[in-house]
Structure 1
């Protein structure tokens, strides 16, 4: 390896380490008792022990930083496994795996996820970030509902939309968080969510 390539590799590694330190500092601030209400780029820089401009250089804006944190949560929460759910030949097995993956994802960093979604309710720009991520779940639930409807011979556009909307709401963080309550893991409620989903599907997509 040439000296120049080695230096570039070292610089890239240092940059990535700094980036992760800033993301981890953001997570720590959101989990702190007062960090949520006082969240700012300045506090993130202080927590990560870097200059404020380093944070801006890495992420561009507060929204960019929070989006990077969302990406980090998705990676640690195993969201890349969603593709395997859609490869399931049986639509009900696909639905059950889809719910299991989301239960693990929502549970990975429950407090941080709760506060990120609360921030989205207060910040219109960041709300767009969360909305785009939720739209991916909308597409996923629509695919699953269409597969189940095809198997059942139920194809009314209105009922498909109702069923897809119901499943989307059921798979939200808020639903898992509420069903789990303060004492249960969000992963513990996955079987219950699946049973509720089946009940809704039976009601909205009766076999023909």
Structure 2
């Protein structure tokens, strides 16, 4: 590698490390305070305020990066598997499983983020956009089910929400803030009952 190429690679690594540090700071700040303040995040990440805006453009850009980091850590890339399974009920089960793993990544941060969405329009738009993608996926999957109820897509969307897993995990786990994936079996049963798996013989 040429010296110039090495320097460019080193520079990119530094940029990536700074970006990751800012995102981690934003997640920690959000979990602790229930707010997203670029100024506070910059102080926590030990960078200049201008660096946050240079990297992410705006508070919305920072929120998008936080959501992307949660999705990557939570294995949301695996969601594509649900749409390749031949058995439509197995596809729904996989959707429920993957969503449980995603919501479990940073339960407190996600809870704060979704609560803040009701109070802050910018946060609300980011979360609404993410929820719209899940709603679209639910419509595709339930569209493959035999004799599904008319509101099947809405039911799957609601039952795979963070709030559903968060509430059921408290019942399934020994500790109120235990592993949120403990709710996956309960959510799977609810989804199958609501969508008519018994009637379909699935």
TM-score, structure 1 normalization: 0.88
Displacement after TM superposition at 1:168 (Å): 0.4
Q: Would you say 1:179 and 2:168 are equivalent positions?
A: yes
Aligned to 1:27: 27
Structure 1 segment 156-171 matched on structure 2, within 5 A: 159-160=149-150, 162-171=151-160
What whole-Å deviation, never above 9, does each CA across 1:101-155 have from its counterpart, x for those lacking one? Answer: 111110111000001111211111221111111111111111111111xxx2x37
SS at match of 1:122: coil
Question: Structure 1: which 5+ runs fail to align?
Answer: none
User: In 1, distance between residues paired with 2:131 and 2:177?
Assistant: 26
Question: Structure 2: which 5+ runs fail to align?
Answer: 171-175
Aligned match for 1:65, one of 62, 69, 83:
62
User: In 2, distance between residues paired with 1:41 and 1:110?
Assistant: 22
Aligned to 2:34: 36
List structure 1 segments (4+ residues) > 6 angstroms apart after TM superposition: none
Conserved? CA contact 2:30–2:112, under 8 Å? yes
Aligned to 2:9: 9
Conserved? CA contact 2:30–2:109, under 8 Å? yes
Aligned to 1:194: 188
Displacement after TM superposition at 1:206 (Å): 5.8
Conserved? CA contact 2:42–2:52, under 8 Å? yes
C-alpha RMSD over aligned residues: 1.7
User: In 2, distance between residues paired with 1:206 and 1:76?
Assistant: 36
